[in-house]
Structure 1
């Protein structure tokens, strides 16, 4: 009989849907995996792509999980002031085997007081702002620091999911999941990160500046609340 592996993933308005659906597609390949999508209610939640996703449970009803996963997107920054969501993340993290995020979901973990002194990654365009939470930003597709596993921007979530699958069920299972889903990336362009030769450096600078303008205020406010609370002590 296969042991159950409970995975609670947040879903919220303006989530980057691939941050959520990409990893979930891979993680459901783990034997015994049970994934819940958690929000305030089970009403449809609009994503950044124009379609909605149905949560499967609520913050009030969700069971404790082996894995708590926070996806990213502009909507993640609205969660930095959502006390119910942050309390849920903290409560789940206390007993979870793995505390995880994809892309800018890392900022929700930071606002919940879970990143201080820990190595972590996120999307390159918001990467430097992680330091406001006392985190140690590291540029990588996947970063592991103890039971904290974080993925970089968007498609990095698939690498993150395979890393987590191997951790939970072993490398052979992870390889079979990769094979079944034909994950064999061979992009037509060499522009996937700012360091790649075909990356548009003007766009890189513009997006970093835009994200800082939109996001640094909420990040600093959340970091300030952490500094004045018992979370940071």
Structure 2
């Protein structure tokens, strides 16, 4: 598995180097070289989105209740959406982003922060595919005016409504920016609101209302 990483990294590097034919070809090559790394894990039968569970079904999660809710006419009307069939994962739309899968869009975050838009990155600690380790690493590597403050900040606990520790967070802002916040959610996989709804509610409510997490 580790031997697959260097060719994958090189293809990603070229993919992000330009927007010419060679770079675009490297984006496709990256998919060919990098996806088998995930395949090694998937071959175990474990859930890509929660290392505690087996993968059952096409998406490893049961979205029946969500699909039923999102396909209700009153829900779609409340959201201002045109009446249509809602899918939790539309592969036709997914494939339209094929050339973007290995692009680095982190550069958009400093612009948001400098424009006064707060940013929160969160990850369930049991997620494999978008794990908290990688997410924390890119947030600490991000070049923005508050980088030194963010990297020096402590990871502090935030609590669920029942008082239990729901996870860890760190947050910081420079004088010229809004807050960047990283949250590691305990006992949750990729689908944090499904796994820990109360913790997710606290996390999202605090962020949207600008309240301190602690």
* Structure 1 length-normalised TM: 0.28
* Structure 2 length-normalised TM: 0.30
Max Rg structure: 2
